[in-house]
Structure 1
Amino acid sequence: MKSLLVVISLFCFKLLHAQSYNYQHYDVSNGLSGLTVYKIIQDREGFMWFATETGLSRFDGTNFKNFSTADGLPDNEIIDLSIDSKGRMWILPFTNAICYYKDGLFHNQKNDSLLARISLISEPTNIAEGENGELIILDRRQIVIVTPEKKLRIINRLENHLISPYGAVLVENNTISVPVAYGVEHAKFSFLNISEDSFYLSPPEDARQYIWTTSLTSLLKPSLKIFQVGKFLKILQKGKKSYVTVPDNMLGFDLLNDSMLFVNCSDKVLLYNFYQHQYTDTFLLNKVVTNSFLDSEGSYWFATNGYGVYRLASTAFVNYNFVVGGNLLPVYSIAKSNQKLYVGTNRGKVWDINLINNSISANVEVSSPGENRITGIAFYDAKTIVASSSLESLCIFENGKKTRLIKGASGKDLYYDKDQILISTIVGVYKLKFGETISDPAFLTTRTTCSIFFQNDYFIGTLKGLFRTKETNIKDSIFLGEKFPLLTSRISALAKTNHSIWVATYGNGIIEFDGEKILSHYTQANGLSSNMCRDIFVSGGKLWVGTDKGLNEIDLTLNKISNKYTTKDGLSSDIINCIYVENDSVFVGTPYGLTFFSPNAIDKKSIAVLNVNKIASKDSVWLAYADSFTLKPSDNKFYIDYACVSFKSNGNIHYYYRLVGLDNEWHNTKETSINYPSLPPGNYQFQLYAVNAFGKKSNEVKISFSIESFFYQKAWFLTIVCILGILIVWYFVSRRIKKIRAEQNDKLRTQKRLTELEQLAFRAQMNPHFIFNCLNSIQQYIFSKSALEANKFITDFSSLIRQTLDLSAKKNISLAEEIRYISTYLSLEHTRFDKSFDYSINIDGNLNTEEIFLPPLLMQPFVENAIRHGIRNLNNREGVINIDFSLAGDYLVYQLTDNGIGIEGSLKLRGKNVIEHQSKGMTLIQKRIEALNEESSKSIEMAIDYLDISQKKGTKVILRLPVYI
């Protein structure tokens, strides 16, 4: 195994030169403006430009953009291109005019005042730049020099003779040297040396042998000068002189770098190496090449006469062609033995490639009419085993002798493992052990596509899916698709590692299976180039997958797709029929032959240069990058056209963008334009960058722009509108508030009046109640006392009545009035009950009874209850009633205590004597307090409890009244 890599490394030079490369071809079907291309150049932004016979083309790696006279070119046939130090691309058309391209615009003699002053006699042949910024323009009859001060200097005669510049220009030591012919019929040849204020001639040695046609056959640089002298190229490099033989059909040459030179011929391109002093490679056979170019990614470009443009991305890919009768044969199987690679093609042929001397020869042939594909190759000792799609399905070749083992089965795949060979056919799987004969298929007698031996079991692929057969019982097969739906697809190939088998399907990607469960699954969704897999190969921790859209390399240690290869990288076709890999050598069979490459030899250098082609709004267009601008309110569209130049990416470029001010999230697209049709006023920044197929990030584009507001969206207008709105709202709200307040005041007045009426009603209820009780007492008093005492009682009673009537008419009375009233009432009751109780009224010294006001007749009902329901029913002791007035903060505290029978005892007596008049005083006073609380911010508080809680004797009443009432 290791010897193969050594041999390939030693003889890679011969192998590469013996075979052809695979080129990417561009013509009018891809968008190129013409098939005849004269010049290729790459500008500072990375774009490739092509001068053609029918216009100018620019290529970004994905799309072509073509320019013609309608865009500003003086003529549609463009002969040459060059770029100066200011980034201007000078365009030399096939007419006596000149123009240049910069920042998206063509500057010509109609729209540029400087160019309008330049009058050419014939078509221009070259444009060069002097050391001091001079512009040197040559046509076939004159030299035009444009100074940095934009002055014109024209040289068209020498010694009274017309001159004919040859198109080459040398700028060295502040001198411009131009090879010219002059004299009668231009017989003389010399260098015309032009300084700032003079010019002179300096004929070179062997001048008459020089062949001067155009700048294509001469190169003049300070460190390198190349002339065609006869059949040689004379090279003067760093003071050393050398000669190179050139073919008779040379059209010109192009310098790639300081070490390599392309020699363009009418049937090929030769690569000359200055250091090796020899031609080292040949490109593009049988094409007329007019210009060759090396781009910044290391790709070779070739302009042709009549066939468009060819690009060679890498010389690491080499193609082997197998031709019979002028027909290129497709490759279907690859195998290796010793230092030979065996290749099975159509027409029943097996070819061998000697990896030492790089020779190709036909090895064996399976005779059969029709196409007859060689579907498998294996080796055993000195025997070559070949499976084919012909009637002779399996043959063994030994010493030129063919032995046919299977006939009429049409082999689809051949698997060799240790001492057995499995051949999958349209009638089942045959099992061959050397020394034994084959009669019938060993197992699964149906159409099979491939088979493999893994962990003592046979796994067989069919059009229906994957089957499993035990080695101990090959008569019975298990269809794995019943348990694993992924294994119901058409199986195209099988391969194995130590722990699993890999199943290639024709429509469902790649599946890893260990015999019991599915371990992994690769499809287009997770990076596979196509779900249509045709072949797989395991080598060195890598799984190689051939699809109908290229080759995939899967790193099994990292479980990811690490690389993809297509025709754009160098493969001869994207349809991969078969694969063979050993060490760092990859061989791929396609419908167009065999391709060899070494992944480590591929130059993965790439560029990712992001350019803005156009920015547009509704009313304006910018044909180049504009980092900031302002748009009118109605001009609120933002459109941008862009491209990332990365030729090796072959269009596989992802763009990431966002519009800050509208959306801060990054979005991903493969489109090369973005359109925001209608944006609201505001400040925005559009941000964009690209990532090429190799993961390289481009430069980031940032475009800041503003969209102005309409006058009705501006701050001053909105401020005025807001102020007016606030005033209008304030006006209507204030009117509403006034109305609500008026309605509220009316409600309050009504409520107050109702409360007052309610108070009067309560007092009106209390007055007859009190009078009734007093009259009842007088009646009892008359019956039990003398007339004289009754008369006195009536006099006192009439005084109490007058006080009651007087006080009840008032809304509020003073505390002094309330105390006098209670004293009169207590005195009267004390007399009526034969002085059977004692009473006292105590007033805190801090109280000013004349300045404290309270509702009238509020305290009398509590005194009445104390007498009638408390002390009246005492049998063995005298009653005592104490009334205390005190001040607690903002409250007047009225406390009444009696030593009567208590609340519970009073209730028992009431229950026994149902005919006794039930006092309504407490009910009325409670309702009155509730009414007073509704119209006051501070409430009247009332509490009634036993005087002696443990014995439930006596009663204590506490009344707290706000002092301002």
Structure 2
Amino acid sequence: MYVLRQFLSICFLLVAGPGIVSAQTAGYRHFTVKDGLAGNHAYMTHQDKDGYIWIATTSGLSRFDGRHFQNYDYENGLPDNEVLFVTNDHANRIWIHSFAANNALSFIEKALPVKRYSLKAANLSEQYYSDGNQTTYLTGFHSLVVVRGRHAPVWTQLPFDAGRVWETEDGLCYLSDGRSIFTIKDTVVRFLQQLTRYPASYSRMYYYKGLLYAVSGKTLQIFVYGQKRFRYIATRRFDASINQVHVNKYGIWITYKDQQGGCLFTRDGQWSLQYRFALPGFINYISDDTEGGVWLSSSDNGLFYIPAPDFVNYTIADGLASSVVSALEPVPGKKLWLGYNTGQAELVCYAKKTLRKERSIMVEQSSSNGFVMDIASAGKYGVFLLSRKNFLQLRDKATYLKAPGVNKSISLLNDTVVGVGGWKYWLYRLNTKRVTEYPISRIYAQCTDIHGNYWLGGMDGLYRIDGHTSGYQKLKALDGYKINALVCCKDYLWAGTQNNGLYLLRNGRIVSQLKRNSSESLASNTIKALAAREERVYIGTNKGVQLIRYNYDLHRIDQSRMLNHDDGLISPEVNDLKLLHDTLFIATCEGFAIHHATADTLHPVRYTISDVSVTDLRSNRRSDTQGTVIPYSSVGVELAFNTVALRYAAEISYLYQLESFDNRWKHTTGNTAAYTNLPPGKYVFVVKAADTRGNSSKPYRFAFAVKPALWQTMMFKCSLTLLLLLIAGGLFIAYHRYTKRKTKAQIMQNRIIAKARLEALRAQIKPHFVFNSMNAISDYLHHNRNEDAIELLQGFAGLIRKGLNIAAKDFITIAEETAFLVQYLKLEQKKCDACFDFTFESAPEIRDLVIPSLLSQPFVENAVIHGVRNIKRRRGQINVTYTLNGKDLICNIADNGVGVRRSISSKRADSIGTKLSEHRVNYFRSGMGIDIELSIADLSDGDADEVGTRVTILIKDIFQLQTNEDNAEDTHNR
């Protein structure tokens, strides 16, 4: 009974009339006021130089960056909310014309409030921007307005109503009044030629790649451009009056005055209908963007965006048997077999104005698990359909063939061999109907290489069957991997696995592996279908279709692009892929899609960084001028930036770096970067945008400077340093004066003490000198030398007067010191009967220098008493010299006596005079601050020929002593 019911069902489907499925549009996005659009009645769209889409509506002007709408209306300066058109000039100023502003234009410069510009032009209705000529053209009722560079608009009155301006490949611009064509050069308009002799004029004209399309009612005439002339070549008539014509790389777009939506025709001369875009609205304007998308402005239904018009989707809403298309197979004649998850298969024709069902059949009756697993076209042998349980050959009638248990896949391996994968693997030969069985189970993918080998991918790895000997082997490569898809290209084999990415093999060996998050990243590691032609490989995944251009020589991906719902694909869950010529057929879980896989599909999107600005967070002042200077603030600055990404806005992220501040690139998905407490200086902010598909922008460099605060300026720092130095100097001077006063007080105190001690010394010196002299006189009297005693006594009397006078002073000159010592030594000579000689040496220029009084006298006395008096075999000699060494005065007292050591041994060296002199030196050091050094040397230590003692007295900086206040007091008292 089951077989009978199945047969009757098949017969019913075979005789049933073909169903009709209406033609479907490409996938699109719909924007209305709910999404932020200013108004639902949109006149037109225009893309500026930064990539923003500007929309003129009856409720204001909108700017769209792919994510957000920014709206301008009367409150922002528009003369009227009903904006008729929008365009840009070379400086990217946005020019608009409002309904109520007949004699005025408005423009927006860098998103500042709207500004007005008055001129005589009225009822402007069309616009065109020529990037090559750096000129914007605005036309309307007897008016032509030209905006060049950043100059003001120039109005020219015309004798006719001008239509839209167009530009040819040679850089020339033209316009028409509906009957004739005129050339435009600057603001000069000249007649070129007449287009038609028809009574009706052309309402629309559009130029694209050498062809001019002119609309008149239901007629579209085409002219070819050459040698600066337009020549008629063809006419196309339609059933309804044409409203808009737009031509781009996808084809010819036609909208009608009394119909919603429109049609897209091919540009190959055959005018084949690619699809009808059945949009819910009357289309007012069609424009392109730089990312390959198409924008359609509608009346009362907002804005429609078709990201990739070469995608056409068909869903269950269009009459498909199920939303889940599990398999498909294109066949000649612009036809396609579709297999569903319900066990049903359909043959549809996609070449006519509608998608039409031509045949339908139930491959399997099960509605819960009756997937059509695979479809293969075998030319004259018909089509093979495989479900989980059935294997069907369909020609004029359906023939069920024996299948190897639960089925997985089929493939036409060559003209007469069909491979069937299930619990076992079969090769079914079409010409002989012989079956060769292999003990290989659960084969999900099959293909044939250029050598005639059959490649099988299964649950546990990769197999190869020799197409000539029918022998098979399991390969070590991919052992244990579940392989979902196989395709051969050139001498290579591509293998897509369940969770391990994509592999490229040659002669059964892996030569390359592509995985997600690797250097050659895939969108997903789950590969469900593959198709390939030369270097182009199409990869069906659970996240969409990835198109790559693979370099087989270098084993790398040269280009890559992902196609998913952002590109118009109805569903990213891909079940099957088939490539026929340049058309890619995609089976998904929500319907199927047709994609015209041209070479430019792989062209990357180039983003542009725009709206870069810096904001002082303390004052919230924003500037977008290069080189702007902002004051220093510890709060910091914020850099803002943006990128227009119309198709992949949700995937955009940024890398940025502040040169000379950041040591690495930083990443953000937002549109700002903040820096706190930025030091003063010049900075360059570098930012670039990229999406997850490899599309990126060039780095944008924005220069700005942080002005130092007052306390950070060099002048302030120098002033502060000077002030600190002055304060430090004042403190130092005050401290110096304090310490000087304190030191002076201490010196005075020490001086008082020293003077007291000195007086005591003087009290000792005077009797000591008198005692020595009295001893000499007594000695003369004892030896009856009365005359000598009298002479000595007279000399002593004069010496004592002079010595006591000098001893009472602190300072005397070298001449006074020398005179006193000469007189003293003469007396000593008399006392010893001229037993020694003496000399004094001093330069005339130093004889008036002041020195401490009687500083050398005790040492001269020691030289006489303890030195030369006691020698017997030679004559005594005493030499006193005063020399100047720079600023220092040196006094040497040398004798040829017994020497210091013998004097010490005889205990005659500790004379009272020497001790008094040492005390006197200490007084001058501590009490008066005079630096005096005293040294005594025994000459017999150095050389045997020299005997005696040399006393050296060094007075440092003798010239400073000349102005000493104590010295001045003594010299005044002389």
In which range does the TM-score fall when normalised by the shorter chain? 0.5 to 0.7
Residue identity (%) = 16
Q: Which residue of 2 aligns with 1:90?
A: 97
Counterparts in 2 of 1:518-529, with a 5 A limit?
Answer: 521-522=518-519, 528=521
> Measured at CA, do residues 534 and 837 of structure 1 come closer, stay the same or move farther in structure 2, by a change above 3 Å?
farther
Matched, 1:349 2:372: yes
* Residue-by-residue CA offset, 1:15-69 (whole Å, 9 max, x unaligned): xxx9988534233498253896654321544533445687654323343334567
Given that 1:660 and 1:684 are in contact with CA atoms closer than 8 Å, whether structure 2 keeps it comes out as: no
Once the two structures are TM-superposed, the CA of residue 955 in structure 1 deviates from its matched residue by 1.9
Given that 1:492 and 1:535 are in contact with CA atoms closer than 8 Å, whether structure 2 keeps it comes out as: no
Q: Which residue of 1 aligns with 2:237?
A: 245
Once the two structures are TM-superposed, the CA of residue 867 in structure 1 deviates from its matched residue by 3.6
Q: Which residue of 1 aligns with 2:363?
A: none
Counterparts in 2 of 1:248-263, with a 5 A limit?
Answer: 252-256=243-247, 261-263=252-254
Counterparts in 2 of 1:295-306, with a 5 A limit?
Answer: 295-297=288-290, 298-303=292-297
Matched, 1:326 2:321: yes
* Residue-by-residue CA offset, 1:542-567 (whole Å, 9 max, x unaligned): 99885748737597749788433243
Once the two structures are TM-superposed, the CA of residue 859 in structure 1 deviates from its matched residue by 0.7
> Measured at CA, do residues 530 and 900 of structure 1 come closer, stay the same or move farther in structure 2, by a change above 3 Å?
farther
> Measured at CA, do residues 860 and 606 of structure 1 come closer, stay the same or move farther in structure 2, by a change above 3 Å?
same
> Measured at CA, do residues 263 and 32 of structure 1 come closer, stay the same or move farther in structure 2, by a change above 3 Å?
farther
AA aligned opposite 1:246: F
Correspondent of 1:47 among 31, 46, 52: 52
Partner SS, residue 860 of structure 2: helix
Q: Which residue of 1 aligns with 2:283?
A: 290
Given that 1:301 and 1:309 are in contact with CA atoms closer than 8 Å, whether structure 2 keeps it comes out as: yes
Matched, 1:423 2:422: no
> Measured at CA, do residues 628 and 858 of structure 1 come closer, stay the same or move farther in structure 2, by a change above 3 Å?
closer
TM-score, L = length of structure 1? 0.60
> Measured at CA, do residues 126 and 923 of structure 1 come closer, stay the same or move farther in structure 2, by a change above 3 Å?
same
Q: Which residue of 2 aligns with 1:838?
A: 836
Instruction: Measure the CA separation in 1 of the matches of 2:881 and 2:315.
Output: 130
Instruction: Measure the CA separation in 1 of the matches of 2:213 and 2:499.
Output: 62
Matched, 1:58 2:49: no
Once the two structures are TM-superposed, the CA of residue 262 in structure 1 deviates from its matched residue by 1.9
Matched, 1:281 2:274: yes
AA aligned opposite 1:551: Q
AA aligned opposite 1:398: Y
Counterparts in 2 of 1:480-629, with a 5 A limit?
Answer: 491-493=499-501, 495-496=503-504, 509-510=516-517, 521-522=518-519, 528=521, 548=543, 551=546, 553=548, 557=554, 562-567=559-564, 568-569=566-567, 571-574=569-572, 591=589, 593=592, 598=597, 600-602=599-601, 604=603, 612=611
Partner SS, residue 939 of structure 2: strand
Once the two structures are TM-superposed, the CA of residue 430 in structure 1 deviates from its matched residue by 7.4
Instruction: Measure the CA separation in 1 of the matches of 2:686 and 2:664.
Output: 12
Once the two structures are TM-superposed, the CA of residue 373 in structure 1 deviates from its matched residue by 12
Q: Which residue of 2 aligns with 1:398?
A: 428
Counterparts in 2 of 1:350-365, with a 5 A limit?
Answer: 350-352=373-375, 363-365=385-387
Matched residue count: 797
Q: Which residue of 2 aligns with 1:918?
A: 910
Given that 2:59 and 2:81 are in contact with CA atoms closer than 8 Å, whether structure 1 keeps it comes out as: yes
Given that 1:332 and 1:375 are in contact with CA atoms closer than 8 Å, whether structure 2 keeps it comes out as: no
Query: Which structure 2 segments of 5+ residues have no match?
Result: 1-21, 129-135, 144-152, 167-172, 181-193, 225-229, 342-369, 392-404, 467-472, 484-496, 963-974
Q: Which residue of 2 aligns with 1:102?
A: 107
Range with greater deviation from structure 2 (561-570 or 579-588): 579-588
Once the two structures are TM-superposed, the CA of residue 459 in structure 1 deviates from its matched residue by 6.0
* Residue-by-residue CA offset, 1:848-892 (whole Å, 9 max, x unaligned): 74x333211111222233344434554654533233445666555
Instruction: Name the Cα RMSD after superposition.
Output: 7.0
Given that 2:275 and 2:312 are in contact with CA atoms closer than 8 Å, whether structure 1 keeps it comes out as: no
Given that 1:646 and 1:692 are in contact with CA atoms closer than 8 Å, whether structure 2 keeps it comes out as: no
Partner SS, residue 35 of structure 2: coil
Instruction: Measure the CA separation in 1 of the matches of 2:735 and 2:165.
Output: 99
Given that 1:333 and 1:375 are in contact with CA atoms closer than 8 Å, whether structure 2 keeps it comes out as: no
Instruction: Measure the CA separation in 2 of the matches of 1:708 and 1:881.
Output: 79
Correspondent of 1:900 among 890, 897, 901: 897
Given that 2:38 and 2:71 are in contact with CA atoms closer than 8 Å, whether structure 1 keeps it comes out as: no
Correspondent of 1:958 among 945, 952, 963: 952
Partner SS, residue 950 of structure 2: strand
Instruction: Measure the CA separation in 1 of the matches of 2:455 and 2:223.
Output: 67
Correspondent of 1:27 among 25, 28, 31: 31
Given that 1:396 and 1:403 are in contact with CA atoms closer than 8 Å, whether structure 2 keeps it comes out as: yes
Query: Which structure 1 segments of 5+ residues have no match?
Result: 1-17, 119-123, 139-146, 156-164, 180-201, 436-441, 443-450, 463-488, 511-520
Partner SS, residue 809 of structure 2: coil
Once the two structures are TM-superposed, the CA of residue 796 in structure 1 deviates from its matched residue by 5.9
Instruction: Measure the CA separation in 1 of the matches of 2:198 and 2:412.
Output: 65
AA aligned opposite 2:949: T
* Residue-by-residue CA offset, 1:504-533 (whole Å, 9 max, x unaligned): 77xxx45xxxxxxxxxx44xxxx9576876
Q: Which residue of 2 aligns with 1:142?
A: none
Partner SS, residue 768 of structure 1: helix
Given that 1:529 and 1:547 are in contact with CA atoms closer than 8 Å, whether structure 2 keeps it comes out as: no
Instruction: Measure the CA separation in 1 of the matches of 2:479 and 2:254.
Output: 58
Once the two structures are TM-superposed, the CA of residue 755 in structure 1 deviates from its matched residue by 4.1
Given that 2:25 and 2:278 are in contact with CA atoms closer than 8 Å, whether structure 1 keeps it comes out as: no
* Residue-by-residue CA offset, 1:759-784 (whole Å, 9 max, x unaligned): 66346336526744863785698589
Given that 1:128 and 1:137 are in contact with CA atoms closer than 8 Å, whether structure 2 keeps it comes out as: no
Q: Which residue of 2 aligns with 1:8?
A: none
Partner SS, residue 389 of structure 2: coil
Once the two structures are TM-superposed, the CA of residue 825 in structure 1 deviates from its matched residue by 3.8
> Measured at CA, do residues 282 and 672 of structure 1 come closer, stay the same or move farther in structure 2, by a change above 3 Å?
same
Partner SS, residue 948 of structure 2: strand
Once the two structures are TM-superposed, the CA of residue 838 in structure 1 deviates from its matched residue by 0.6
AA aligned opposite 2:754: E
AA aligned opposite 1:349: V
AA aligned opposite 1:861: P
Correspondent of 2:744 among 744, 748, 766: 748
> Measured at CA, do residues 132 and 497 of structure 1 come closer, stay the same or move farther in structure 2, by a change above 3 Å?
closer
* Residue-by-residue CA offset, 1:132-164 (whole Å, 9 max, x unaligned): 9885299xxxxxxxx9999999x9xxxxxxxxx
AA aligned opposite 1:838: F
Given that 1:491 and 1:504 are in contact with CA atoms closer than 8 Å, whether structure 2 keeps it comes out as: no
Instruction: Measure the CA separation in 2 of the matches of 1:623 and 1:852.
Output: 80
Once the two structures are TM-superposed, the CA of residue 898 in structure 1 deviates from its matched residue by 1.6
Instruction: Measure the CA separation in 2 of the matches of 1:842 and 1:807.
Output: 19
* Residue-by-residue CA offset, 1:166-206 (whole Å, 9 max, x unaligned): x9899999996799xxxxxxxxxxxxxxxxxxxxxx9x977
Correspondent of 1:775 among 767, 771, 775: 771
